[in-house]
Structure 1
Amino acid sequence: MKGLFLHGVNCTSRIWSQVREYLAGIDADYVEYPHAVTAAANCVSDITKWVFGEFGSNHYDFVAGHSMGGIIALELAAKFNLAFRQIILVDCSLRPANRFYRNLMTEGHMEQYGSKIMQMMQEEAPYYQDGLKQSLKERFDYTKYLKVLNQNIYAIYGDRGQKDYPGRIDDLCLDEETLGRIKLLFVENACHLPMIENPQALAFMISDIAHDKSLLK
């Protein structure tokens, strides 16, 4: 069992450190994109090409990508034919989502972890071009990749501390075909950074997916 973990914009592989502790039994590569690569990248695909060049010859049973890392995961499978059995998207927007999903952490978690996370993001931000960041903010549509993939695709989102919110699926702004291709799961008491806010729950979800255990009721 081997996994590939991909982080998002303005982050480092350390974002997975707490999840990693709960996944000690799973062999995995936690990718770190070099600053030289991110600074030259005009779009997500530029980073995907580097990841493929460095890790494409390895075998992975699954890939887990957070935010932009989820798009990289889809591109590795759709454009470079990496044969993951499962693709796990962690709070990854395939299209611009509604306001419900546009928050970093819950208020309590911002008080607890905010200074450390914001420091990391501020340190990494200069190494990402504005064009790349904009391609992940507005007027994008990455659902096209799902149309050419046959793998099981899981999309895990933080429930924003509102597990009974009735609009949480509609607010993803995805069409029925796309929703039919993904299996949705929600991490309680978390927003965009479930690996920080509720790492144990996220890790258990990833482990169950990797081991083909049913998570859907």
Structure 2
Amino acid sequence: MRILLLYGVNCTRKIWDNLRPYLDNYEVVYVEYPHEITQKANDIDTISKWVYETYNGKPYDAVIGHSLGGIVALQLASKYKMKFNKIIYLDTNLRPANEFYRNLMTVEHMTEYGNDILTMFQKERKFYTSNLFKSIQEEFDYTKYLKELTQKVYAIYGDRNRPEYKNKITDLNLSNEALSKLDFRFINNACHMIMIENPKKLYEMIDEILEYR
């Protein structure tokens, strides 16, 4: 089973290191966006177009995208018509979300991983344009890519160690039409960086989705 794996801004493939050992049974393509592409990208579609031109033509059972990578995944499937049996995004905001979703990691995970992650962010930040950041940080709406899909999209989020919080879905500020296209899953003991914070649970959830017919 072949998986196309896409990360978000300010990252490298190292963000998958904690998850990678769990994915040994799959053929995983770990995409890395060239700096010469991201330095000129004023919108997400510039990155999506490069991914399409580079990786189209090969069959993929699934695409999994984290954060901005989730929007890339949707664009690949809807705009560029790449075929995936399963589409999964990880902690991706299709519209500006409420405060509940605005944290990187739990306090404990920040202590353990924060220095390495923030150093990576700082090093990679210079390779992304201010316009690209505006396209994912200010007023935006990427739900149109859901509307063009006929298949279900799996949306996995960290539960911020608040499993009892009742407005997790409401706080994503999505329309009923958009919500009808999504299958939500929440992972405990994780915030935005799910693949780093709780890789075992994430793997189990991904495996369950991929094996489901």
What TM-score, normalized by structure 2, do the two folds share?
A: 0.98
Helix, strand or coil at the partner of 2:110: helix
Q: Tell me the distance in 2 between the aligned counterparts of 1:210 and 1:172.
A: 25
CA-to-partner distance for each residue in 1:144-168, whole Å, 9 max, x for gaps?
A: 0111101221000000110111111
The Cα of 1:88 is off from its aligned counterpart by 0.2
Whether the aligned pair in 1 keeps the contact of 2:2 and 2:27 (CA below 8 Å) is yes
Q: Tell me the distance in 1 between the aligned counterparts of 2:69 and 2:151.
A: 17
CA-to-partner distance for each residue in 1:101-136, whole Å, 9 max, x for gaps?
A: 011011111111100000111010000001101100
Whether the aligned pair in 1 keeps the contact of 2:151 and 2:181 (CA below 8 Å) is no
Whether the aligned pair in 1 keeps the contact of 2:8 and 2:67 (CA below 8 Å) is yes
Whether the aligned pair in 1 keeps the contact of 2:158 and 2:187 (CA below 8 Å) is yes
1:181 aligns with 2:184: no
Q: Tell me the distance in 2 between the aligned counterparts of 1:29 and 1:20.
A: 11
Instruction: Let me know the Cα RMSD of the aligned residues.
Output: 0.8
Q: Which residue of 2 aligns with 1:84?
A: 84
Q: Which residue of 2 aligns with 1:205?
A: 205
Whether the aligned pair in 2 keeps the contact of 1:56 and 1:82 (CA below 8 Å) is yes
The Cα of 1:21 is off from its aligned counterpart by 0.8
Q: Tell me the distance in 2 between the aligned counterparts of 1:24 and 1:207.
A: 12
Extract unaligned runs of 5+ from structure 2. Answer: none
Letter in 1 for 2:91: D
Q: Tell me the distance in 1 between the aligned counterparts of 2:87 and 2:60.
A: 10
Helix, strand or coil at the partner of 1:4: strand
Q: Tell me the distance in 1 between the aligned counterparts of 2:134 and 2:108.
A: 28
1:33 aligns with 2:36: no
Letter in 1 for 2:23: L
Letter in 1 for 2:70: G
Helix, strand or coil at the partner of 1:61: strand
Q: Tell me the distance in 1 between the aligned counterparts of 2:118 and 2:133.
A: 16
Extract unaligned runs of 5+ from structure 1. Answer: none
Q: Which residue of 2 aligns with 1:60?
A: 60
Matched ranges for 1:46-125 at <5 A: 46-125=46-125
1:167 aligns with 2:163: no
- Give % identity: 50
Q: Which residue of 1 aligns with 2:141?
A: 141
Helix, strand or coil at the partner of 2:157: strand
What TM-score, normalized by structure 1, do the two folds share?
A: 0.96
Letter in 1 for 2:53: G
